[in-house]
């Protein structure tokens, strides 16, 4: 009797164990999907920075090439003076920086860290050269405008207003790149994000030259700041989706930019700033 009674009970217990196991452990295809999703996420983790660098190179080409062709035609037609030499120097340096960023992100994505670190030393030479060339270019532009024999009042006003953005870029670009370079050994996530976030600042000059993008210039600089945020959105959105939080690099970038953005909006087109900007650049007012 006891053996007959325990046999059905054992069978029922076995069936219950199988059901419980089926509920707790997902079938094998679900596990494979999870592995596939993880692999895709890891690929995006590596290649999102290559995508951002490629986007920056494409932006520079789309923004500057058509504008340069137009400006060269104006020079050849005698409608504007020839470009200063420093403009060409600055263009070469910024082009080299964008290509370096693209190569560096590619090396990091493919695991060639040794070459990545060696080539990265180039940034220590390029950075001060870009900062110096940028200052000389802005100075040359102001000198050319204020010494022109014709009345260029509207162009002077625009140049004075744009100087607000150029000051922000001139200060924050080297600051953020320097921070990124200091963090390259101890915090690779901060390093790679800050390199991208720093580079988008001077890239705004290329974004502004994409003629089919909406803009509020010359009345307001609002669109400039909106486009910069949109340009980093792919990386930001992926970081938030992947980790559920905003990484520290974005907080640093926003905190550094916000005071300058507020000042730009407050000073843009004000009589005081339009009188002050030429004096800052060492040219006469008016």
Of 2-11, 68-77, 101-110, 253-262, the one with minimum mean pLDDT is 2-11
Higher per-residue confidence, 15 vs 95 = 95
- Boundaries of domain holding 212: 44-280
DSSP characters for the chain?
A: -HHHHHHHHHHHHHHHHHHHHHHHSPPHHHHHHHHHHHHHHHHHHHHHHHHHHHHHHHHHHHHHHHHHHHHHHHHHTTSSPPPPHHHHHHHHHHHHHHHHHHHHHHHHHTT-HHHHHHHHTHHHHHHHHHHHHHHHHHHHHHHHHHT-SS--HHHHHHHHHHHHHHHHHHHHHHHHHHHHHHTTTT-HHHHHHHHHHHHHHHHHHHHHT-TTS---TTT-SHHHHHHHHHHHHHHHHHHHHHHSS--HHHHHHHHHHHHHHHHHHHHTT-HHHHHHHHHHTTS---
Task: Check whether 10 has a pLDDT greater than 70.
Answer: no
Q: Decide if 8 is inside a domain.
A: no
Higher per-residue confidence, 28 vs 241 = 241
pLDDT in tens, 34-67: 656 678 888 888 899 999 999 999 999 999 999 8
Q: Decide if 271 is inside a domain.
A: yes
Q: Decide if 211 is inside a domain.
A: yes
pLDDT in tens, 108-160: 999 999 999 999 999 999 999 999 999 999 999 999 888 877 777 898 999 99
* Burial zone of 247 (CB within 10 Å; 0-12 exposed, 13-18 middle, 19+ buried): middle
pLDDT in tens, 70-115: 888 887 877 677 788 999 999 999 999 999 999 999 999 999 999 9
pLDDT band at 282 (very low <50, low <70, confident <90, very high): very high
Task: Check whether 12 has a pLDDT greater than 60.
Answer: no
Q: Decide if 32 is inside a domain.
A: no
Higher per-residue confidence, 21 vs 238 = 238
Place of tokens 């930001």: 236
pLDDT at 27: 45
Q: Decide if 15 is inside a domain.
A: no
Q: How many other CB atoms are there within 10 angstroms of residue 239's CB atom?
A: 19
Per the structure block, which two tokens stand in for 119?
Answer: 């080539």
Number of domains in the chain: 1
Q: Decide if 14 is inside a domain.
A: no
Q: Decide if 34 is inside a domain.
A: no
Q: Please check whether residue 139 is in contact with residue 167, taking contact to mean a CB–CB distance below 8 angstroms.
A: no
pLDDT at 127: 97
Q: Decide if 237 is inside a domain.
A: yes
pLDDT at 73: 87
């Amino acid at each position: 009797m006891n053996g007959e009674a325990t046999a059905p009970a054992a069978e029922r217990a076995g069936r219950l164990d199988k059901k419980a196991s089926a509920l707790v452990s997902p079938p094998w295809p679900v596990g494979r999907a999870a592995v596939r999703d993880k692999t895709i996420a890891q690929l995006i983790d590596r290649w999102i920075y290559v995508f951002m660098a490629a986007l920056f190179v494409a932006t520079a080409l789309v923004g500057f090439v058509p504008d340069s062709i137009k400006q060269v035609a104006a020079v050849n037609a005698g409608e504007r003076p020839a470009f200063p030499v420093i403009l060409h120097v600055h263009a070469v340096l910024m082009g080299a920086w964008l290509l370096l960023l693209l190569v560096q992100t590619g090396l990091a994505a493919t695991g060639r860290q040794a070459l990545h670190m060696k080539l990265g030393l180039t940034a220590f030479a390029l950075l001060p050269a870009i900062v110096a060339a940028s200052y000389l270019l802005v100075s040359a532009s102001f000198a050319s405008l204020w010494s022109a024999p014709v009345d260029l009042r509207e162009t002077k006003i625009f140049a004075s207003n744009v100087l607000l953005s150029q000051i922000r870029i001139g200060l924050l670009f080297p600051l953020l790149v320097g921070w990124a370079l200091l963090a390259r050994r101890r915090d690779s996530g901060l390093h790679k994000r800050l390199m991208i976030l720093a580079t988008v600042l001077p890239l705004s000059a290329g974004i502004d030259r994409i003629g089919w993008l909406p803009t509020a210039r010359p009345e307001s600089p609002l669109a400039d700041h909106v486009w910069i945020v949109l340009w980093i959105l792919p990386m930001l959105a992926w970081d938030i989706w992947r980790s559920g939080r905003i990484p520290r690099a974005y907080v640093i970038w926003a905190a550094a930019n916000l005071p300058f953005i507020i000042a730009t909006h407050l000073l843009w087109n004000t009589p005081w700033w339009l009188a002050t900007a030429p004096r800052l650049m060492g040219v006469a007012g008016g």
